[in-house]
A and B are shown apart, each in its own frame.
Chain A
Amino acid sequence: MNYKTIEFLLLQLEESFSKSRSNIYSEVKKEQHFRELYQLFKSIRDSEYRRLRGNELYVHFNILTYIFKGLEYLDNSTLNVIPYEIVSCLEKALSDWIRREDFIVVTSLSNRNLDFYFESGYSEEYFQGLNKYVSKFYGTTITHRLIRIGLPKVLARDYLSCVALYHELGHFVDNELNISKKLLLETYKTDNPRKSPSTFMYYSHRTEYFADLFAAQYINDASDSFLNYIAYDEPDSQTHPATAKRTKVVQEFLSNQYCMEKNDFNKVLKASGSPQLSLRHNSIDVSNSDFIDLVPQNLENDGQLHYIFKLGWDIWKESDDNFLKDFKSRQKHQIINNLIEKSISNYTISAQWKKLNDGTIQ
Chain B
Amino acid sequence: MFLAKSTSYFQTQVPFYIKVLENLIDNKDLDEKGGIDSAIFEAKEVAKGNKQVFSIGKEHYYFVTTLLTRYKDNLLDLEGNSFDEETYSGILEILK
* Interface set of A (CB-CB < 8 Å, partner B): 55-56, 58-59, 62, 66, 114, 116-126, 128-130, 132-133, 136, 164, 167-168, 171, 176-178, 181-182, 185-186, 189-194, 204, 207-208, 227, 230-231, 239-240, 267-268, 270-272
Contacts and interface: CB of A to CB of B under 8 A. Distances in A.
Nearest to B14: A58
Contacts of B9: 192-194
B15 A124 contact: no
B83 interface: no
Interface residues of B, number: 37
Given A191-B69, A240-B3, A125 B54 contact: no
A229 to B, nearest CB: 11
A209 to B, nearest CB: 12
A186 B2 contact: no
Interface SS of chain B: loop
Interface in B1-40: 1-10, 12-13, 15-20, 22, 29, 31-32
Nearest to B29: A136
B3 A118 contact: no
Given A116-B3, A171-B6, A177-B58, 6 more contacts: A114-B2, A125-B13, A126-B12, A129-B17, A132-B32, A191-B66
Contacts of A189: 69
Contacts of B31: 132, 136
B55 interface: yes
B6 A117 contact: yes
